Structure 1
Amino acid sequence: MSESSVERSDPSAGPSIVLVEPQLGENIGMVARAMANFGLTDLRLVNPRDGWPSEKARAAASRADHVIDAVRLFDRLENAIADRNFVLATTARPRDSFKPVRGPEQAAADLRARVAAGQGTAILFGRERWGLNNEEVGLADEIVTFPVDPSFASLNIAQAVLLMSYAFQAAGKAGDTAPRFSAPEAPPATKDDLFRLFQHLESSLERAGYFFPEAKREVMTQNLRTMLTKANFSEPEIHTLRGVIKAFDYEARRARVDHEAGGTDRHPEGEA
């Protein structure tokens, strides 16, 4: 199936992702999965080597079926982007072109603005082995490239799509890239809790003979208190630490009792 033209898709859905002559169905599926992770749905294929539809693509999409089911096929790149107002071409290589070159963040912010203005946008991705040719890059308005290590600049196609999809979503959050969930915050410990921890720990260390020589006791105590204060412990963390100290104290007492009893192994009632 091929299309010489395409009905306009909803620009507010984000940029169209256009794969030019992708080779493996598995890679197309992983692209669909990456798009679905960040809310993009318009995937367009130009002459996929192994044809379409592809069960390998569907399997690799990991339930991103809504993207796979909506894939549109084209015989020419010009047809795939005919309804778009603005097109970016991705490339890792310098080109003999005077087109503006953007990083992913800057390019994504510009895409966001264009989408908000009602423009249809697209991002072009080339073949797995050698990307886009110069003629294909020439059809785009601007170039986007990734700040990868120049000694190993190769990204697979799904990685490249994932980076641009994430950048597009992040650009729509006005700088808010916080995780979508977070651990509940524990209440901070009161100073009284902290002082009780000092007292408990120092008493335990005193029994263990830690403060030696005596002349250094004050410095050693202050060092301990400074470390514990800087940690900004929560209330549950203080309780946990005191439980740890209590367990060490118990073992130390039991060792003393065993020693005084001539090495007889004793356990508190109910302990195995």
Structure 2
Amino acid sequence: MSDPAQPVFVLVRPQMGENIGAAARAMWNFGLDRMRMVDPRDGWPNPRAVALASGAGRLLDRAAIHATTAEAVADCDFVLATTARGRGLTKPILTPERAMAEARAMSGQGRRVAVLFGPERAGLENDDIARANAIVSVPVNPGFPSLNLAQCVLLTAYEWRRQTADILPERMELAGTEPASALEVEKLAEHYEVRLSDAGFFFPDTKAPGMKLALRNLWSRMPLTRADVQVFHGMLRQLTRARDRGE
């Protein structure tokens, strides 16, 4: 079941079926499935949109088609308009991150939010933007500000998803093993300290304590797994065996 508080994404006068399908796919990548369209240029349904949706066809099946932007947002309480160009209208201009934070807050208050995306050729018209409460502007290269429809939808959907509390933080992916315990790291440090001492690494004696401390600190900084610890032990054993054999 999709998030009941999610915003409605409104594609205003989209031109190419391929871009509609790609926009649907981008929405569904981030758990959004409420799409509306205003007067799609090539009519509806559009087989090219279905082909590009690639598994997100359910959005297209359920998409509502409206004749005008006013009709498409009539039941919404807060409307955002995506545009890369200044339009001579006095409105707050938000980054996608800030806009979706606002949208999340509005949705949390039970208010329905809509995001308008303009047609590929020229974007939203002033008449569309005038119906919005705020503008969403992506900080792109000013010399080439135009974004593909699906790209803009994806950026916005991603920022909405980032506001979700259950998104996992950045983490280390462990491939079939567990993090090494403090004891295992300690034993590894001892193993290296003994072997390095035997090899005369800690020289001169006056610097040995500081060198050993630095080495211990190095091991503790490394996000070692149990498998990593075994590899380091094995490497050192093999090196010392080779030395003892005179290789």
TM range (shorter): 0.7 to 0.9
Q: CA RMSD in A?
A: 3.0
- The answer to whether structure 1 residue 178 and structure 2 residue 168 are counterparts is yes
Alignment of 1:1-272 (within 5 A): 12-173=4-165, 177-178=167-168, 183=173, 186-191=178-183, 193-206=184-197, 208=199, 210-211=201-202, 217-231=208-222, 233-254=224-245, 256=246
Verify the 8 A CA contact 1:91 1:131 in the aligned structure 2: yes
Percent of aligned pairs with the same amino acid:
40
Kindly provide the CA deviation profile for residues 171-208 of structure 1, in whole angstroms up to 9, marking residues without a partner as x.
342xx5425997468344334x4443234224434555
TM-aligned CA distance change 1:154 to 1:251, over 3 Å: farther
**Runs of 5+ consecutive residues of structure 1 not aligned to the other structure:** 1-10, 260-272
In the alignment, the residues of structure 1 paired with residue 223 and residue 9 of structure 2 have an alpha-carbon distance, to the nearest angstrom, of 47
TM-score between both structures, scaled by the size of structure 2: 0.82
In the alignment, the residues of structure 1 paired with residue 162 and residue 210 of structure 2 have an alpha-carbon distance, to the nearest angstrom, of 49
Q: What's the CA shift for 1:96? A: 0.8
Of residues 201-210 and 21-30 in structure 1, the stretch that sits farther from structure 2 once superposed is 201-210
Kindly provide the CA deviation profile for residues 111-143 of structure 1, in whole angstroms up to 9, marking residues without a partner as x.
223333333321111122321122221122221
SS at match of 2:75: coil
The aligned amino acid for 2:236 is I
Kindly provide the CA deviation profile for residues 214-259 of structure 1, in whole angstroms up to 9, marking residues without a partner as x.
77555544433332233364544323211121122233344x2xx6
Larger Rg, first or second structure (1 or 2)? 1
In the alignment, the residues of structure 2 paired with residue 47 and residue 119 of structure 1 have an alpha-carbon distance, to the nearest angstrom, of 25
Verify the 8 A CA contact 2:50 2:60 in the aligned structure 1: yes
In the alignment, the residues of structure 1 paired with residue 5 and residue 197 of structure 2 have an alpha-carbon distance, to the nearest angstrom, of 67
Q: What's the CA shift for 1:103? A: 2.3
Q: In the comparison of the two structures, how many residue pairs are matched?
A: 243
